[in-house]
Amino acid sequence: MSKPAKKKSGLSETWRQLKKNKAAVVSLFIIIAVALVAIFAPFLAPYPYDEQNTKRALEPPSEDYLLGTDRLGRDILSRLIYGTRQSLQMGVVATVIAAVVGVIIGAVAGYYGGWVDNLLMRLLDIYQSIPMFLLCVTLAAVLGPSLRNAVIAIGISMVPGFARLMRASILTVREMEYVEAAKSINASNARIIYKHIIPNAIAPTIVSLTMSIGGSVMAGAGLSFIGLGVQPPMAEWGAMISDARNYMRAHGTLALYPGICIMITVLAFNLLGDGLRDALDPRLKN
Amino acid sequence: MGRYIGKRLLLMIPILLGISLIVLVLIDITPGDPARIIAGSTATEEEYEQIREDLGLNDPLIVRYTRFIANSLRGDLGKSFITKRAVWPDMMARFPYTLLLAVLSTVLSIIIGIPLGVYAATNQYSWKDNLAIIASLFCVSMPAFWFALLLIQFFAVKHRILPMAGIEQWQGWVLPVVSLALGYASIISRQMRSNMLEVIRQDYIITARAKGLSEHKVLYRHALKNALIPVIMTVGTMFGMSLGGALIAEVIFSIPGLGNYTLTGLVNRDYPVIQGSVLFLSALFSIVILLIDIVFAFIDPRIRSQYVRAKRRVREGT
């Protein structure tokens, strides 16, 4: 009965620490707002993202089109709203994939040690010798340009970072008395890793996960910018910047809006990550 | 130290073998047949089969891998499917551009980032510190390619001070270098600030102050030297990353570097180009990381002393 109460106090303690950091709280609200925009995009957007009105292409902001239209006469505001879905998907899903795979690899390497650890770490060495964005671009190109493949490419290229982080945490946690106690009552390795080690070593991973989402949003935008991510007519912020590139001379603001959206979202995740790191740091608790 | 360097160099061999295997497997599982791309839609079945045979695509993966390794050791990375030109000399012709872009952007990021970080740390909690933190946070969160387009819009389109793209004149390097350097500079300044804040609370800094040294000497002779050590690692990693990761900047500013070459290869599914350039860029990245580790071992007295102690133990036979 005491277990749930303990969990609640841990969470509320983190929230109490996080609340002290105003930038992190504001960022959390921005992230919630962005997520809500992504979920309710069809209700919020004035027009469908792919509705073309070529007679009114490249128009400046007006009453009908609050942020103007693009080269095909599509409403920029609606595309920004729908674009939130794709950009956030690339950020969140890719990072979660990387974190889950990384945590499993790191936990196994850290817990078992010996040749398993050695083998996994050498494999990660090879992976990490390929510059991250180059690996990401190569995977996206090899798998074929699409939203799903971009998510997979970003996710795979981020796995080593999470695996190493988890391994380092496990190496500290596995020497603790409660792990020894679990071993002494003949708990299986899988149970010890899943029930005791991962929950106690997960804090740095949560911080890294939050901070990595911003990086994934940027990587996804980068992939779409070079044509290896989200494909037209789907709206995505990076693809919108790429689309606006050829009209920079006369319509400079076209690239401005999606860039601002990326920057605010990435900034919010970075600040929240900073705040979480401080909130979860036991040295700063008092 | 010699043993350490030798060991690290030896470790690079399996890493490079592993990278080439990963790239080959990735290409192998890719849907789409390069022979079909080369043959085109009008080729007969015999012509298509001949191309497959010529390219060695009918051989098992392990045979192709061994052949690729053997040829790579002779400096032969194959010929581009599209241009029919040898990959290695093509890469070598493009490498200086990528190297120059990486060097210039890293140098500029150091020039901006380190003084900014020191300045922010020495003015902790003041408006100057807050301004530096906010500016670096925004720069870190800004996609480099978007910033590059903003720079083009302002300096090339609106004011016509600098060229939009191309590197025929030296002015052509300004925008690509600045667009890359700003992001790196903000990372360096953030790290520099936190390192400085940590170092200036150490006992030896209090001792230096107690000796009556001027604040300038305390900061720049004692604190900065120690705060710089972790930054070297970051700068080196960023330099390595920019060698292989500046491909969007190369595309935007039409720089005929390795990134542009790789991306063209990827878009055209030009497998020898992909294989060669990914292997080369990864090897470069590994070498840069190795060099940083060696520099790190030299400048950090804690690491250096480990080797000296080990040597002494060997000499003393204990």
The H-or-E segment that residue B108 falls in is helix B87-122
Is pLDDT of A213 > 70? yes
Is B14 near chain A, with CB under 8 Å?
Answer: yes
The average pLDDT across B300-314 equals: 65
Tell me the Ramachandran region of residue A236: left when phi exceeds 0, alpha when psi lies from -120 to 50, beta otherwise.
Answer: beta
Question: Looking at residue A39, what is its pLDDT?
Answer: 95
Is B135 near chain A, with CB under 8 Å?
Answer: no
Question: Looking at residue B308, what is its pLDDT?
Answer: 63
Percent of chain B whose predicted confidence (pLDDT) is above 70: 94
pLDDT digits (tens, 9 = 90+) for B226-235: 888 888 888 9
Is pLDDT of A280 > 90? no
Of B138, B149, B286, the CB nearest to A245: B149
Is pLDDT of A5 > 60? no
Of A144, A225, A266, the CB nearest to B145: A225
d(CA B268, CA B20): 20
The one-letter code for the residue type at B88 is W
Nearest chain A CA: its distance from B224 CA (Å): 25
Size of interface A-B (CB pairs under 8 A): 132
Of B146, B241, B285, the CB nearest to A255: B146
- Candidates B196, B193, B189; CA nearest to B139 is B189
Nearest chain A CA: its distance from B150 CA (Å): 8
Please identify among residues 50-79 of chain B the ones whose CB lies closer than 8 Å to any CB of chain A: none
Would you call A129 and B146 a contact, using CB atoms and an 8 Å cutoff?
A: no
Would you call A218 and B22 a contact, using CB atoms and an 8 Å cutoff?
A: no
Instruction: Compare all CA atoms of chain A with the CA of B30 and give the residue at the minimum distance.
Output: A142
Residue A1 pLDDT class (50, 70, 90 cuts): very low
Residue B56 pLDDT class (50, 70, 90 cuts): confident
- Per the prediction, chain B carries an average pLDDT of 86
Distances in Å between the Cα of B127 and the Cα atoms of A274, B24, B285 are 20, 54, 39
Contacts of A252 in chain B (CB under 8 A): 153, 157-158
Residue B304 pLDDT class (50, 70, 90 cuts): low
Would you call B146 and A138 a contact, using CB atoms and an 8 Å cutoff?
A: no
Tell me the Ramachandran region of residue A9: left when phi exceeds 0, alpha when psi lies from -120 to 50, beta otherwise.
Answer: alpha
Q: Which of A118, A130, A237 to mutate to test the interface with B (most CBs of B within 10 A)?
A: A130
Question: Looking at residue A83, what is its pLDDT?
Answer: 95
d(CA A272, CA A25): 7
Mean pLDDT comparison of A41-55, B39-53, B241-255, highest-scoring range: A41-55
d(CA B146, CA A239): 11
Instruction: Compare all CA atoms of chain B with the CA of A250 and give the residue at the minimum distance.
Output: B157
Of B22, B141, B244, the CB nearest to A134: B244
d(CA A82, CA A75): 11
Weakest mean pLDDT among A24-33, A177-186, A243-252, B293-302: B293-302
